[in-house]
Structure 1
Amino acid sequence: MFDPKVLEDFSNKISALIAASPAKDVEKNVRALMGSFFTKMDLVTREEFDIQAQVLARTREKLQALEARLETLEKAQRED
């Protein structure tokens, strides 16, 4: 089988080559470009999305309760 040390050495050498090459600069530039792109898209984090989804669910529940209450009141008024 493969010696884990050989794979680790190979990985370290590749990492060193990338760090010493223009590829590292390209990676930094791509990250900066992507960060700028995502900022312009006005995205939200998953946590923010989940919080807003919970707020919306509670609002829907309250709306349904109010609709049911209104229906009950309207029904009682018609019966009078």
Structure 2
Amino acid sequence: MLAAKSLLDSLTSQVTRLLDNDGNLPHHELEQQFKSLLHNALGKLDLVSREEFDGQMLVLQRTRQRLEALELQVQELEQQLTASRTKPQAEQP
């Protein structure tokens, strides 16, 4: 979080300097420099595209479903094991 705050502070000061140029820069030059500043600042963040995020969400959902299925299998196997261990003891005279 500190890195994001530092980045935001840096971006703010750069934009302030850019805007405080007393009108020396033409509008298109100002716009171009602002886009460049913003592009550089966003490039420093660990951002992912929506497509990549959605893809990872699908992987996570499938993994969760598989985990739940495996948990059920383990539970069933444990029940079978418990039943098989108690059966022979109950049958002994």
Give the structure-1-normalised TM-score.
Answer: 0.70
In structure 1, distance between residues paired with 2:30 and 2:70:
57
1:11-52 C-alpha deviation (Å, 9 max, x unpaired): xxxxxxxxxx71111111111111111111110010000000
In structure 1, distance between residues paired with 2:50 and 2:68:
27
Aligned length: 60
Which residue matches 1:54? 58
Write out the 4+ residue segments of structure 1 that deviate beyond 2 Å after TM superposition: none
Q: Quick check: which one's helix share is greater?
A: 1
Q: CA RMSD in A?
A: 1.1
Which residue matches 2:15? none
Relative contact order (alpha carbons < 8 A, sep ≥ 6): 1 or 2 greater? 2
Structure 1: which 5+ residue stretches go unaligned?
1-20
The one-letter amino acid of 1:64's match is E
Give the structure-2-normalised TM-score.
Answer: 0.61
Structure 2: which 5+ residue stretches go unaligned?
1-24, 85-93
Which residue matches 1:39? 43
